[in-house]
Amino acid sequence: MSVPRQSARASRGLLLVSGEPARVAAWVRRGLVPCHVVALGRWTAVVPAEAASRAEPPYDDAAMVLAARPVPHRFRPALGFWSLGDRAVATVTPRAWRAAPRWLVWGPGQGAVPAPGLRLARALDLAAAAGRPGAGHDVARLVSQPGGDVDALLLDLMALLEVPGGQLLSGTPEGASFVEPAPRLVARFNGRVAEDARHRAELEGL
């Protein structure tokens, strides 16, 4: 998992997946982030319940870790809307097999900006995943504009795509299920990260 480093306190957002809440909750338990799981019609929203994941640094930013987590084929297409530091970020994983998350990054005063090391999402990718392919032009025009702030951009983008959950960007969802990661799997992940760090330190010491 490649996770760009951000401040955990500044990060928040939600992931919309195409799956039943019970099955999505089981997927959350196999991850690193405690989440609220909310049924929203044809979508299920997954919202980080805490600023920090259960993993050790550098994988402790809950929103970034969830944004970067691969979405299984059975839950695609998936769309994410994130406030990461001073950037608005939209992620999309198409339904296609072996599809990787794609990222659209927007900065106040800049509009859409490059995302080195990440696969870029086009406006059409977002529109197609939302089931609104005709909205691609409007999405492209929105993200090309430098004016506005992160929260407004995300809400406007969700409105253009006609996807639910905008209210979840700023508050605890009502009627949500709280789902915690399985401690055994978190410990296994942290152990692998620690082992990789020791291995790198040994190589650097040669």
The helix (run of H) or strand (run of E) holding residue 104 is strand 102-107
Laid out side by side, the sheet with 87-93 consists of: 111-113, 102-107, 87-93, 78-84, 12-17, 43-48, 35-40, 177-179
- Each residue of 72-118: pLDDT tens digit? 999 999 999 999 989 999 999 999 888 889 999 999 999 999 999 99
- Cα distance between residue 181 and residue 139, in whole Å: 34
Q: Phi and psi dihedrals of 43, rounded to 5?
A: -110, 155
Indicate whether 8 pLDDT > 80. no
Residue 49 is classified by DSSP as: S
Predicted TM-score of the model (pTM) = 0.91
- For the chain, the domains span 8-204
- Each residue of 136-163: pLDDT tens digit? 999 999 999 999 999 999 999 999 999 9
What angle do the packed helices 150-161 and 136-144 form, to 10 degrees?
Answer: 170
Residue 169 is classified by DSSP as: G
- Cα distance between residue 46 and residue 116, in whole Å: 26
- Cα distance between residue 16 and residue 41, in whole Å: 11
